[in-house]
Amino acid sequence: MTDAAELRRRTAALLAAHPPAGTERLDFLRARFDAGLAWVHYPEGLGGLGAPRSLQAVVDAELEAAGAPDNDPRRIGIGLGMAAPTILAYGTEEQKRRYLRPLWTGEEVWCQLFSEPGAGSDLAALGTRAVRTGEGDWVVNGQKVWTSSAHVARWAILIARTDPDVPKHQGITYFLCDMTDPGIEVRPLRQITGEAEFNEVFLTDVRIPDSRRLGDVGDGWKVAQTTLNNERVAIGGMRLPREGGMIGPVSRTWRERPELRTHDLHQRLLTLWVEAEAARLTAERLRQQLVAGQPGPEGAGMKLAFARLNQEISGLEVELRGEEGLLYDDWTMRRPELVDFVGRDAGYRYLRSKGNSIEGGTTEVLLNIVAERVLGLPPEARTDKDVAWKDLAR
């Protein structure tokens, strides 16, 4: 059995064979994956050793102390947090070996082709069609929206309608889509901040081999639940240091700018600081629960807390700074690879936080998930649940 001592021994061997100071970053990351030290709870040969997930911290601490490079997890968060666990759960052995290594090393960036203009909160109503050809491949036509990283991604996780004659949740199939294939057009979406972090993606007669289908035909909704549960944990369960996240900037401003303080703002800051710390500790407990298996609906609750806190904290910072808080740089049509609050001003953080209650599942949808799947309350009435997708009002 792989224990902490064995992991330290293996990490020391990796560092001896590939000294970080003298090894190219990508070469080191590939060697780390091949040594089973990428994500230790994954199977052997797929970047892991089949060890308890909790032991990943042992490896990470040893490598950080040695100055080893990481895989820039924020840049490839969709691949790490959403695509990888879904491929591991439903992929063929060939798919796992083809996609997981370059995904983890960051050689191939991933994006998520789920939401559509007419299927956001009601994702199962999606209308992008995938039709099977006589040769067994699939031809996809449709439009996706709010796609982070589509402008830099090589691969996408895609769900499309393959059977319009059955209820909406039953006629969906899950695919792995090559973003460099003919027929894929990525257009920028300008946001309230001015920049174009998201995209809309148009698919016109895009051919996808059946070998890139993930799971059974018509089983895409089930496969997608693995992705969505992991997404909510990735957003709401991010590991943050004490006073990490948005509470950090407003706390620093409070300490450095005493002339801005008022009694009322002090009370509000203390309240939000306590809530942020409670959310951080709860997220840590959630990550510990993940050691036992796949994430469940509890991630929805953490994502809800994350969205509300970010919005309230960023609003407090703008109010604390007064007129100064209303100013922010011109980010018009910049195309960032990821959401990055570092170096941004309070005005930007306030505007960007408005998207927290939409991305990763709207607040309304997540409240239903918590009510039904966590608290066990009666489900909301759904009159279209057993109606064929083609007969739904649109």
Q: Say how far apart CA 330 and CA 342 lie, in whole Å.
A: 16
Query: Is the confidence at residue 71, as pLDDT, over 90?
Result: yes
Give the Cβ contact number of residue 300 at 10 Å: 27
Domain range holding 48? 1-70
Q: Which CATH number does the domain housing residue 370 bear?
A: 1.20.140.10
Q: Say how far apart CA 33 and CA 46 lie, in whole Å.
A: 8
DSSP-derived pairing of the beta strands 110-113 and 155-161:
parallel
> What is the tally of structural domains in the chain?
2
Assigned domain for 392 exists: no
Q: Say how far apart CA 321 and CA 329 lie, in whole Å.
A: 16
Q: Which of 70, 87, 111 is the last residue of a domain?
A: 70
Give the Cβ contact number of residue 363 at 10 Å: 16
Assigned domain for 203 exists: no
Q: Is 231 a catalytic residue?
A: yes
Q: What is the mean pLDDT of residues 124-134?
A: 96
Assigned domain for 283 exists: yes
Assigned domain for 21 exists: yes
pLDDT tens-digit readout, 35-53: 999 999 999 999 999 998 8
Q: Among residues 116, 178, 108, which one has the least CA distance to residue 143? A: 116
- Note whether 195 and 334 are within 8 A (CB): yes
Q: What is the mean pLDDT of residues 112-132?
A: 93
pLDDT tens-digit readout, 229-248: 877 666 655 555 566 677 88
Select which of 197, 231, 298, 317 is catalytic: 231
Give phi and psi for 302, each to the nearest 5.
Answer: -70, -40
Q: What is the pTM of this model?
A: 0.87
Q: What is the mean pLDDT of residues 360-382?
A: 85
Does 227 or 120 have the greater pLDDT score?
227
Position 292 scores a pLDDT of: 46
Q: Percent of the chain at pLDDT above 70?
A: 91
Assigned domain for 50 exists: yes
Assigned domain for 251 exists: yes
Assigned domain for 142 exists: no
Q: Which of 31, 50, 70 is the last residue of a domain?
A: 70
E-only strand ranges, the chain: 110-113, 129-132, 138-144, 155-161, 172-178, 184-189, 198-208, 213-214
In the chain the first and final C-alpha atoms are separated, in Å, by 55
Q: What is the dihedral of CA 164, 213, 159, 125, to 10 degrees?
A: 20
Position 185 scores a pLDDT of: 98
Longest dimension (CA), the chain: 73
Distance (Å) of CA 337 to CA 49, 69, 347:
31, 19, 20
Least confident of 85-89, 173-177, 256-260: 256-260
| Amino acid at site 345 | D
Assigned domain for 87 exists: no
Q: Residue 247 is inside which H or E element, if any?
A: helix 247-256
